[in-house]
């Protein structure tokens, strides 16, 4: 590496103080910018800081609060999953890591400006948009995306005006993954359970008045292709005050087919079979007999049209195409039979997937796959040093552990490129020092991690007062008021 140019305006970045208190020149420390403070962003930061003792990492976040989907996506009744926040907090408080919230990259500062200020930029801002169903009537009142519905009960500021109508008896959830089961569980959970979680107060009040008593969880394929995990299914099966009601015909031939599937899939399907078909023991029979709410998986069904109420103002039901499967196992494909059926319902929640969006026109983007094209996290572009991790890299798949491994792989690519010289570390970079002037001119006030801790303190105090782990602040304006008190 070359020594820093003595005329460089950011000379101070390259000075080190030796044991005798004398300044000496050294190679400039690598400066890495990570866009997004969810699991992908924090895991990438953690790995870079741990593996490279001279690296300095700045994490940029659009909202004033960190942690992304851990805060806004994990179900309120899954507090153990949120324990990962403790690890992320340790990373954020590391001497070589800084958190800068309330900065909208692509709007307040461009990716190109970040590339000029840092040796490397890692895009980790996740998947913030919904996949559309692409069917008539999906814009009717009473139809919501799972992303927005989850954001509503988890306190995402942009979803607080959702105000879902829960006055109907039957809700249909399209999709059979973990998010679909989270939504079903929240809709059917006894209020006394939810009151002890960090679900938002407006959502709690709406769910307390909810008339929803039946939730159908619809998937285009069969029991062997169900997308949830065994943990989520087990929770659904044991949910107090509910009972399952499924069609025995949907499980024809499943026991025989299980002989040829991998063990994890076999265990999941066996639990599903037991829940749906097995005569329960006396204790379980009694529990089910007292249940006032019902849930069911509906298999081999694809949405065709949202049916409107007589006055055409809101949903009154959904038309489903009946499918059959071609092939076997997890690769089986749903094929239309030509048969249709209508299901009356007043609430439809589409849980068919999240998708990433492009935040800056200078970044390559595959609009079909909704990802940034990459090779092991490296983004092909004219300027080296651009990377991506998390769902922006792979699409919205897997759990937090999947994202961790995905992010570590991107961090390894970045570290290898630093070691090989592909990322040029010889020139000093000013990092946030050069960005702060741009933000001042644009009227943007960054929120530091210490500012987030003020918000955290207020939320936990409000929660403790009513027996909850926290009561989230629901608007960016209120968050900033706490910060600037």
φ, ψ at 99 (rounded to 5°): -105, 130
Enter the DSSP assignment of 479: H
- The CA distance from 346 to 157, in Å, is 25
- The CA distance from 234 to 236, in Å, is 5
Residue 310 CB neighbour total at 10 angstroms: 6
Q: Is 221 annotated as a binding residue?
A: yes
Q: Is 267 annotated as a binding residue?
A: no
Burial class (CB in 10 A: 0-12, 13-18, 19+), 477: exposed
| Tokens of residue 405, six digits | 């491994």
Q: Is 69 annotated as a binding residue?
A: yes
Q: Which of 483, 385, 415 is nearest to 44 (CA)?
A: 415
Q: Is 478 annotated as a binding residue?
A: no
- Whether residue 150 contacts residue 179, with contact meaning beta carbons closer than 8 Å, is answered with yes
Q: Is 179 annotated as a binding residue?
A: yes
Q: Is 220 annotated as a binding residue?
A: yes
Q: Is 452 annotated as a binding residue?
A: no
DSSP alpha helices (H): ranges in 190-315?
191-194, 201-208, 230-237, 254-257, 263-277, 282-289
Q: Is 138 annotated as a binding residue?
A: no
Q: Is 391 annotated as a binding residue?
A: yes
- Whether residue 423 contacts residue 413, with contact meaning beta carbons closer than 8 Å, is answered with no
- The CA distance from 480 to 475, in Å, is 9
CA atoms within 13 Å, Cβ hemisphere of 25: 12
Q: Is 178 annotated as a binding residue?
A: yes
Q: Is 105 annotated as a binding residue?
A: yes
DSSP 371-391: B---BTTBPPSSSS-EEE-TH
- Binding-site sequence positions for NADP(+): 176-179, 220-221, 232, 398
- Binding-site sequence positions for FAD: 40, 61, 69, 105, 391, 398-400
- Binding-site sequence positions: 40, 61, 69, 105, 176-179, 220-221, 232, 391, 398-400
């Amino acid at each position: 590496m070359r020594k820093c140019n003595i005329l460089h305006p950011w000379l101070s970045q390259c000075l080190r103080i030796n044991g005798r208190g004398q300044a000496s020149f050294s190679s400039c420390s690598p400066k890495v910018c990570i866009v997004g403070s969810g699991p992908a962003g924090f895991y990438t930061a953690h790995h870079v800081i741990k593996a490279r003792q001279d690296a300095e990492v700045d994490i940029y976040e659009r909202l004033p609060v960190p942690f992304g989907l851990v805060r806004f996506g994990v179900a309120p009744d899954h507090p153990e999953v949120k324990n990962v926040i403790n690890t992320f907090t340790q990373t954020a408080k590391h001497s070589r890591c800084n958190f800068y919230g309330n900065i909208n990259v692509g709007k307040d500062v461009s990716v190109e400006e970040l590339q000029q200020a840092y040796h490397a930029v890692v895009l980790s801002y996740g998947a913030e948009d919904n996949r559309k169903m692409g069917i008539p009537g999906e814009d009717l009142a009473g139809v919501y995306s799972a992303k927005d519905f989850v954001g509503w009960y988890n306190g995402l500021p942009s979803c607080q005006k959702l105000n879902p109508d829960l006055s109907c008896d039957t809700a249909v959830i399209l999709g059979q993954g973990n998010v679909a089961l989270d939504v079903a569980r929240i809709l059917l959970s006894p209020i006394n359970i939810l009151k002890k979680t960090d679900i938002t107060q407006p959502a709690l009040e709406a769910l307390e008045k909810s008339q929803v008593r039946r939730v159908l969880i619809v998937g285009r394929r069969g029991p062997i292709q169900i997308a949830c995990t065994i943990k989520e299914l087990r929770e659904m099966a044991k949910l107090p005050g509910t009972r399952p009601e499924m069609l025995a015909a949907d499980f024809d031939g499943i026991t025989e087919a299980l002989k040829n599937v991998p063990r994890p899939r076999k265990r999941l399907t066996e639990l599903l079979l037991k829940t749906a078909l097995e005569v329960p023991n006396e204790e379980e029979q009694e529990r089910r007999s007292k249940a006032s709410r019902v849930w069911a998986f509906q298999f081999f069904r694809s949405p065709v049209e949202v049916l409107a109420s007589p006055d055409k103002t809101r949903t009154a039901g959904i038309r489903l195409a009946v499918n059959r499967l071609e092939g076997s196992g997890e690769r089986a494909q749903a094929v239309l039979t030509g048969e249709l059926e209508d299901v009356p319902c007043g609430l439809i929640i589409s849980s068919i997937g999240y998708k990433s969006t492009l935040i800056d026109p200078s970044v390559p983007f595959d609009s079909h796959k909704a990802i940034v094209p990459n090779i092991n996290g490296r983004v092909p572009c004219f300027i080296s040093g651009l990377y991506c991790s998390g769902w922006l890299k792979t699409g919205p798949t897997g759990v937090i552990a999947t994202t961790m491994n995905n992010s570590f792989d991107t961090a390894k690519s970045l570290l290898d490129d630093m070691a090989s010289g592909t990322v040029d570390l010889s020139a000093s970079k000013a990092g946030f020092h050069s960005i702060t002037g741009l933000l001042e001119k644009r009227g943007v006030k960054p929120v530091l991690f210490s500012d987030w801790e003020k918000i955290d303190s207020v939320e936990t105090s409000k929660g403790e007062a009513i027996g909850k782990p926290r009561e989230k602040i629901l608007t960016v304006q209120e968050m900033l008021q706490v910060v600037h008190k």
